[in-house]
A and B are shown apart, each in its own frame.
Chain A
Amino acid sequence: MVKFIRTHGTESALLAVIVVISFVLSLVTDRYFTVGNAFDLLNTSSVNIIFAVGLLVVLISGGIDISFAVAASVAQYGTALFIAWIGGGNWAIGLIIAGSIGIGLGCLNAALIQGFAIPSIVVSISTFNVFFGLLMFFTKGVSIYDLPDWLTEHVVLYERQLADGSWIEISLPVLVMAICVVATWTLVTRTTIGRQLYAFGDNPEGARRFGVNIAAMRFIAFGWLGLMAGIAGLVQAHYAQEVVPNALYGRELDVLAAVVLGGARLGGGKGTVLGCVLGVMLTQITQNGLNLMGVSPFAFKMIVGAIILIAITLSNARIERLLPFLSRKGA
């Protein structure tokens, strides 16, 4: 326990904040601390977590991407058009198409960054405008509601009625999310490519001299984010049961805030999958808790923003000094 806190400062701090918030919420509401609510939380966080683990890989490699959410919209729309064109399809085809479009757009970013030595923030702000502008221009902002049944049908993988009569269920988005999280965790912690990504993000020139293939790292990182964005786009279409071209517009900044809150460093070389998931969960738990407490929805964002601001202030203000206190409380 103590060792974990020492090696995972940000994650422990986040976990502590989540525990405190959960404790307060379980005192003031009777609905929060139920199994059903925990599963609801998982279901609603799926899309953001898929985005978050993808973005994490890019942040680890020292890049940044703003365009992934609109890239997901492009993938979502493209897939919807494609499956309407072939008339039918299934989840496998949908995921392959959405994933491919995502990878293509991610690699476009990587090619511009690598080929012309343009900083990733400049590239992704340009492509953000290009993707979104062209998507809205060609679709004229028209939404697609006529989706095939396999995409809109609510898929329940596991459900059970609890003793108190409430239902818990694990739906398809959760399974997809779990696969994405495990795959990303494997990529960054269990493969050579993962080690190279950290090395490249921490010190690009040093990594190059050690023989790391810089171009490959960029394409892998942005391609991976593109893949995750494509998958998240399709899952979001399934969740919302519609394809709205500007539905994901603005999501990129919320996800970025959550991932960086989870300990990923803008500048590269640092960040864990656990921290990134906790970062998303913290914002979701806060919203969920406020909802259950009956707080006006208009105040949600204000409180979430304040909590992130306080959390980063605390987590950056010499976390080591807080540690002895934290570990004693934990023991």
Chain B
Amino acid sequence: MSALIQRLNGAPFVRDMAGPGFAFLAVLIVFSLASPQFLSGATFGSVAFQLPELGLLTLAMLMPIITGGFNLAVTFTANMAGLTVAWILEANGGVDASPEVFAFAVVVAIGVGALAGFVMGLVIAFTRAHPILVSLSMMIFLRGLGEFLTRGGDVSGFPEFLHPIGHGSILGIPVPMLVFLVCVALWHLLLSRSRLGFNTYMIGSNIEATRYSGINTRRVVILVYTLSGAMCAIAGIIMMARFNSVRVGHGESYVLITVLACFLGGVHPDGGFGKALPVFVALIDLQMLSSGLNILGANQHLATAVWGLLLITVMISRWLVLRLRSNFASSRR
């Protein structure tokens, strides 16, 4: 046992994957036993279609959490980006808008998302106000702005070619899932291979020490929140294509779920630690859990409660493992 633990200690990838991987196996086994329908293509199809919305928003939440902050404005930033696309399409012929217009709209929407993130980053970097408060007020502001501009209604009527983006498949993989996979790969590379990624971890560990070692921490923080906003915009566009309409408040309940997914994926709440791939596995856990409960006839509310219980269980087992490990260490001494 102790040899196994020692080997686990030596392999960072295995250690990071332990929590979400364990949860993955547990969910898989429990539901396969409970329902013969669970291990089927249909389940994995529904997981693959539903995962990207929550997944992209979680990626947007991930980088700020690693810096020791939060971006609670993720869902409403996504809504604003979706609205931007919808309005540009509407102004250019609605149902008859051309693909070029859509491409232009996507670029503008990502710009809008990035702008929201940029403003948050600016305030956080220069005033040192707590990110929870800054992103919270941005969230309240964006929700208000969106409700003011749409009067609480929804915008719909999009060109036909948008349908495949939300519902189509390429080589059996849903298009939203492909977008999501590309974004996961991008985030993984950014965090593990780039200078920005390295600085992100450093800031999360100790922002003052990072500043004294000559890194422009303000620039990094602003960049992190800007990228987070841009990722929200991509989520917003996918959500628009999936629902075939945009309404402020779509996906509102995802905010705290994205935080939950990050923690389940082993991201440290105070920042400094956390990787994209374990978070990806954690997201699959959550979605499988909700699909499995669905098959068993439970509703989304029960799934929400079970998500919470899953996180508590993972945290308690992590505590137990740490305790066991320190017991072994002291008994060997």
**How far does the alpha carbon of A27 sit from the alpha carbon of B269 in the complex, in Å?**
47
Out of A116, A122, A260, A302, name the residue touching B269 (CB < 8 Å).
Answer: A122
* Cα-based distance from A125 to B258 in the complex (angstroms): 10
Report B301-314 CB contacts with A as 1/0, cut-off 8 Å: 11111111101100
Given A301-B140, A309-B141, A126 contacting B309 (CB threshold 8 A):
yes
Q: By the criterion CB–CB under 8 Å, are A299 and B308 in contact?
A: no
Contact residues in B for A261 (Cβ distance below 8 Å)? 133
Q: Are A305 and B141 neighbours in the complex by a CB distance under 8 Å?
A: yes
Q: Using a CB–CB distance below 8 Å, which chain B residues touch chain A?
A: 72, 123, 126-130, 132-134, 136-145, 147-148, 151-152, 252, 256-257, 259-260, 263, 269-270, 298-299, 301-309, 311-312, 315-316, 319
Is there an interface contact between B138 and A130, defined as CB atoms closer than 8 Å? no
CA distance A117 to B318 in the complex (A): 10
A interface, by DSSP: helix, strand, loop or mixed? Answer: helix
Known: A129-B304, A137-B305, A313-B127. A122 touches B311 (CB 8 A): yes
List chain B residues, Cβ under 8 A from A317. Answer: 126-127
Closest to A253 in B: B136
Q: Which of chain B's residues has its CB closest to A133's CB?
A: B305
CA distance A136 to B306 in the complex (A): 13
> Are B308 and A133 interface neighbours, CB within 8 A?
yes
Q: Are A305 and B139 in contact (CB under 8 A)?
A: yes
Contact of B301 among A136, A302, A305, A315 (CB under 8 A): A136
Number of A interface residues, CB 8 Å?
48
Distance in Å from the Cβ of B256 to the closest Cβ of chain A?
5
Which residues of B are found within 8 Å of A112, using beta-carbon distances?
A: 312
Chain B residue with minimal CB distance to A314?
Answer: B127
Q: How far is the CA of A314 from the CA of B142 in the complex (A)?
A: 20
Residues of B within 8 A of A296 (CB): 148
A312 pairs with B133, CB closer than 8 A: yes
Interchain CA distance A127-B256 in the complex, whole Å: 11
List residues 146-173 of chain A with CB under 8 A from any CB of chain B. Answer: none
Contacts of A301 in B (CB 8 A): 140-141, 143-144, 147
Which residues on the B side are within 8 Å of A266 (C-beta)? 130, 132-133
Closest to B301 in A: A136
- CA A306 to CA B307, docked complex, whole Å: 33
Chain A residue nearest in CB terms to B305: A133
Which residues of chain B have C-beta atoms less than 8 A from A15's C-beta? none
Chain B residues with CB below 8 A from A129, complex form: 256-257, 260, 304-305, 307-308, 311
Which residue in chain B gives the minimum CB-CB distance to A249?
B253
Closest to B147 in A: A298
CB-based contact B130/A260 at 8 Å: yes
CB neighbors of B among A276-327 (8 A):
296, 298-306, 308-309, 312-313, 315-317
Q: Least Cβ distance of A50 to chain B in Å?
A: 20
Q: Are A256 and B256 interface neighbours, CB within 8 A?
A: no
Q: Give Cα A250 to B254, complex, Å.
A: 12
Is the CB of A119 closer than 8 A to any CB of chain B? yes
Task: List A contacts of B129 (CB < 8 A).
Answer: 312-313, 315-316
CA distance A182 to B68 in the complex (A): 35
Contact: B123 with A312, CB < 8 Å? yes
Judge whether B316 and A312 touch: CB under 8 Å.
Answer: no
CB-CB under 8 A from B260, the residues of chain A are 125-126, 129
B144 adjacent to A304 (CB under 8 Å)? yes
A-B contact pairs, 20 of them (CB 8 A): A118-B312, A119-B270, A122-B263, A122-B315, A126-B312, A128-B256, A130-B308, A133-B304, A134-B302, A134-B305, A137-B301, A256-B132, A257-B136, A266-B133, A301-B140, A308-B133, A312-B133, A315-B129, A317-B126, A317-B127
Q: Which residues of A contact B256 (CB under 8 A)?
A: 66, 125, 128-129
A123 within 8 A of partner (CB): yes
Residues of B within 8 A of A315 (CB): 129
Rounded to whole angstroms, the CA-CA distance of A126 and B261 in the bound complex is 10
Q: In the bound complex, do residue A309 and residue B137 qualify as a contact, i.e. CB atoms below 8 Å apart?
A: yes
